[in-house]
Amino acid sequence: MEQTNNLAHGFDIAAIRRAAANLDDGAVTEGYQADREAVIAMLNDALATELLCVMRYKRHYYTVAGPNTGHIKAEFLEHAQQEQDHADRIAERIVQLNGSPNFNPATFTARSHAEYDESDDVQAMVRADLIAERVAIESYRQMIAAIGDKDPTTRNMLIDIMAVEEEHADDLRDLLA
């Protein structure tokens, strides 16, 4: 039996077939429901946040000193590497959405939700990193809510990243004296 309304099993077959057009749009089909430019802008701010966090954790890793700080130093390095992974995932998603990832270091601090830290005291470093993780968690929570169901790929990526940020916050809380 031929489908007269072009629907089969509840799917719009014509829309599915139109996905073959506009190849220059890459992964973005006409069914993409989010405001693509707004999502890219949001992701570029998240990218700046992640890159600033990499720099903060790296600074803490290289400058932490004192007895019994080896485990803290290792935690800083692990977090820096995971934040770099987040930045890479975000940049890749921006490209998938036909955007351009903004790696301009001159604007990191203005675009970042977190702040850089130059503490020399180990506990001040841990506290600054915990604050930044909590800021990141709230930022991701708000981004996830703003995207809703309109961009499931970006939403799922942000949920995954937020889960790691929550692990970081838990780790850092345990390191507070």
Collapsing DSSP to helix, strand or coil, 12 comes out as strand
Residue 86 in marked binding region: yes
Residues 114 and 128: beta-carbon distance below 8 Å:
no
Residue 133 in marked binding region: yes
Residue 167 in marked binding region: no
Task: Give CA–CA dist 22/49, Å, rounded.
Answer: 33
Residue 37 in marked binding region: no
Task: Give CA–CA dist 71/89, Å, rounded.
Answer: 27
Task: Give CA–CA dist 38/36, Å, rounded.
Answer: 5
Residue 165 in marked binding region: yes
Pick from 67, 62, 174: which is nearest to 126 by CA? Answer: 174
- Residue ranges of the annotated binding site for Fe cation are 50, 86, 133, 165, 168
Binding-site residues: 50, 86, 133, 165, 168
